[in-house]
Every structure is written in structure tokens, then in C-alpha cells.
Homo-oligomer: A and B are copies of this chain.
Amino acid sequence: MKIISIVSGGLDSVSMLYIQAKYKHNIHVLSFDYGQRHKKELDFARSAAYNVGGMWDCVDLSGLTRLIGGSSLTDNIPVPDGHYAQENMKITVVPNRNAIMLSIAYGVAVAEQADAVAIAVHAGDHFIYPDCRPAFTEAFEKMQDKAIEGFGNVQLLTPFIKYSKSDIVKEGQTAGTPFSKTWSCYKGGDVHCGTCGTCVERKEAFQLAGVQDPTIYLR
């Protein structure tokens, strides 16, 4: 099976990649530069792709930043501290990001006659991000069936859509994911800050999973 896998370099998508590799799928990894301040995640994505023997490409969407800005992930707005599933995390939303990344991944899938596109959205994302919910991914797959009719058959894989992040840590560990080589922190410093929403969520996931957390946190 040939899969176009969207991998940010974070814990979730790198775990997804290692699980796919375990099943010997032919994987083309796509990462996206959308002007995020935590751009160092892209290095983690590239090395993960390399380690599982997949192709890797980074799609440069940095020109979009000026147009779809207004998010603390890309602009000069401070990244909020606190729990990921809080209302103030809405400021970290990049408008329509998943639809944009998925539609590009589908274009690549048609060009390469791949069987599937994969994205690592999970249940913990649902509260804040509408484009991580099953209603979105199901509607997206239906839309794509119409968009590429006669040019290919591409499934949308969302293996973690009903998983919590601690479920992902457990599954990722079984597949041998090198967690220390994944990046979550939205601030993009030398080490994980330990206080932004995604760091808090990461710490919690390891605790709940009962898996040792190899991450170095500033706090």
C-alpha cells in the first residue's frame, strides 16, 4: 500500500509513521512549512521519514502566512500557557490548515497513484479544532471522492481519530517510536518549554500512558 503521510514531526504523526512502517507500507512523507515559529519540528519530521526508509518532502506554504495569519503559531502573538483543551488555545488555530494540507496531499496521491492519505488527528484535538473532528474528515473524504473521480482511488486514513494522546503514546511505544526525536512545543526553543498547551498535553499523555517521558522540559 502506498501512503502519503502528513507528518509534522510531533509525537502523534511520528508515531503514526512508525506504525505504518511496521506494516511495510510504501510511505511518502509530506511536511508543511506554513511559517510556524516551531519550524524545528520539520527537522524531526525529516529524520523520522529517513529512519523508516520513506521519501520526504516539505511543501513551502510560507507565503501564506501573511494571508492567513492572526494565529500565535505564526505571528508575533505570544503562545498562551495552560492546558491544550482550553478556550484560550483557540488563538493557536491556523485557519483551515488541515483542509489545505490534506488537499495538497491528495494532489500528490493522484500524481503518484497512491492508495491513501494519512493524517494523525486525535480525539484530544476535537474540542478546539473543528478540522480535527470525524465530521470534518468524513466530509473531506467524500469531497475528495468527487474531486478526483476517474483519476484515482485514494482513502483518507485517520488511525488516531478516536484515540487520546495517551493511547497514541502506548501504540507509538509498541511500534518503537523514538519519542525523544519528536517535537511538540509551540514555542520552538532549544528544549520543550513545558508550559504551553501542547507541552502540558504531552507531559500528561506520558503520565496517563504509564510510559517514561524522555523529553527535556525547561520547566
Instruction: Point out residues on A near B: beta carbons under 8 Å.
Output: 57, 59-61, 63-64, 67-70, 93-100, 102-104, 106-108, 110-111, 130-131, 133, 135-136, 139-140, 142-152
Chain B CB within 10 Å, residue with most, of A95, A135, A136, A151: A95
- The complex is assembled from copies of this chain, and their number is 2
Q: Which residues of B contact A135 (CB under 8 A)?
A: 146
Additional A-B contact list (19), CB under 8 Å, known A67-B107, A69-B111, A100-B104: A61-B61, A67-B111, A68-B111, A70-B111, A95-B107, A96-B104, A96-B110, A98-B147, A99-B107, A99-B144, A100-B107, A103-B103, A130-B149, A130-B150, A131-B146, A136-B143, A136-B146, A140-B143, A140-B147
**Contact among B59, B95, B144, B151 with A64 in the assembled complex (CB-CB below 8 Å):** B59
CA distance A218 to B61 in the complex (A): 37
* A130-B149, A147-B136 known; A67 vs B57 contact (CB < 8 Å): yes
